């Protein structure tokens, strides 16, 4: 019975993915109305995250960002579904890397590379960057409890040739692969959310007005296997179109003692968020383990 349901669900999602773009985005508009006004999905979490991040903004400004975020979130979710059937030609037109020469340099280097990304703009479509290229991509992901959606995520993220590895298995994977054939891999990691557990050695960094715990696994891997560290800066040009820029953070992290690459990573993310805050994933509890604010927190009533 479960198998029949899963096949039916996949068939429905495939049909949605085949909709013409004009109708496709009308579906997204409808989803926005339902999610934002009817269901109110994680509305309180988004509101509190925005209030924490932008204490200087008025209630009206917070509400405007909140509405824009939910509109974009629905677009992003539907665009992920579009990935089921989108053609290679179409995805290359809608997600462009504007400085492919940096990627070429990374691939030609004898070192592997840690490519850090953020939950900002179209982080899912970034998996298409290796399309038609000789890059050996390794995409880390956090497994989902629901087997159907977990398999779907793995299928979509490996669609363009990436090897998809569970986050907890990346170190073991790298140990095996780098020892057998060292270098020339690109490990894609999205590491800007809050760690699930706080330990004595957990690093806290300034981020959007708070000191938050951060993942340092990417830089740890880079030091252990002598990799370079870069950042994938994705921006939204217009609805359904994105551009990405590969930024080298550090070519050599062997002498790092204070997580310089990770610090640079968070500074870039914060700058992006201030440019277009609605493109960041505000629906997660980013500040649940944050330390007290070091900036002026304005007092105001909770938003409804």
pLDDT tens figures, 141-166: 888 888 888 999 899 888 888 889 99
Burial class (CB in 10 A: 0-12, 13-18, 19+), 243: middle
pLDDT of residue 239: 96
Give me the sheet containing 228-238, strands edge to edge: 95-97, 241-250, 228-238, 113-117, 185-190, 136-141, 163-166
- Helix ranges restricted to H, 158-244: 170-180, 217-224
For residues 180-206, give the mean pLDDT.
84
* Whole-structure pTM value: 0.90
For residue range 12-41, what is the model confidence (pLDDT) as tens digits?
999 999 999 999 999 999 999 999 999 999
Asked whether the predicted pLDDT for residue 295 surpasses 60, the reply is no
- In 37-104, DSSP assigns E strands to 95-97
Asked whether the predicted pLDDT for residue 273 surpasses 80, the reply is yes
Burial class (CB in 10 A: 0-12, 13-18, 19+), 82: buried
Mean pLDDT for the chain?
88
Count of CA atoms in the C-beta half-sphere (13 A) of 16:
20
- pLDDT category of residue 292 using cuts at 50, 70 and 90: low
- pLDDT category of residue 119 using cuts at 50, 70 and 90: very high
- Choose among 222, 194, 180: nearest CA to 282: 194
- pLDDT category of residue 291 using cuts at 50, 70 and 90: confident
Which has more pLDDT, 61 or 293? 61
Cα separation, 191 vs 286, whole angstroms:
12
* Contact assessment for residue 272 and residue 233, using Cβ atoms and an 8 Å cutoff: yes
- pLDDT category of residue 103 using cuts at 50, 70 and 90: confident
pLDDT of residue 79: 95
- Choose among 36, 46, 45, 121: nearest CA to 71: 36
Asked whether the predicted pLDDT for residue 197 surpasses 50, the reply is yes
For residues 72-81, give the mean pLDDT.
95
For residues 59-73, give the mean pLDDT.
97
For residue range 214-234, what is the model confidence (pLDDT) as tens digits?
999 999 999 999 999 999 999
Whole-Å CA distances, 146 to 13, 85, 125, 182, 258: 16, 22, 22, 35, 38
């Amino acid at each position: 019975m479960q198998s029949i349901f899963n096949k039916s669900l996949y068939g429905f999602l495939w049909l949605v993915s085949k909709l013409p773009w004009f109708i496709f985005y009308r579906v997204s508009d409808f989803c926005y109305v339902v999610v934002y006004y009817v269901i109110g999905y994680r509305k309180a979490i988004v509101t509190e995250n925005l209030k924490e991040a932008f204490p200087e903004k008025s209630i009206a400004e917070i509400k405007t960002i909140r509405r824009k975020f939910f509109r974009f979130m629905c677009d992003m979710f539907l665009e992920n579904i579009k990935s089921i059937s989108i053609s290679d030609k179409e995805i290359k037109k809608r997600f462009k890397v504007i400085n492919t020469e940096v990627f070429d340099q990374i691939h030609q280097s004898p070192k592997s590379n840690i490519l850090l990304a953020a939950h900002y703009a179209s982080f899912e479509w970034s998996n298409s960057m290796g399309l038609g290229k000789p890059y050996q991509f390794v995409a880390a992901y956090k497994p989902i409890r629901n087997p159907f959606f977990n398999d779907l995520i793995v299928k979509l993220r490996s669609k363009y040739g990436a090897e998809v590895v569970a986050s907890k298995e990346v170190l073991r994977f790298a140990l095996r692969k780098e020892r057998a054939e060292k270098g020339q891999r690109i490990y894609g990691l999205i590491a800007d959310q809050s760690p699930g557990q706080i330990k004595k050695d957990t690093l806290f960094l300034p981020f959007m007005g708070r000191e938050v715990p951060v993942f340092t696994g990417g830089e740890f891997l880079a030091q252990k296997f002598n990799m370079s560290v870069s950042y994938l800066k994705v921006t939204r040009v217009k609805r359904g179109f994105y551009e990405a820029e590969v930024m080298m953070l550090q070519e050599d992290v062997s002498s790092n003692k204070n997580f310089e690459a990770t610090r640079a990573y968070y500074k870039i993310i914060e700058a992006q968020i201030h440019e277009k805050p609605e493109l960041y994933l505000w629906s997660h509890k980013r500040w649940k383990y944050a330390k007290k604010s070091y900036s002026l927190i304005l007092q105001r009533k909770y938003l409804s």
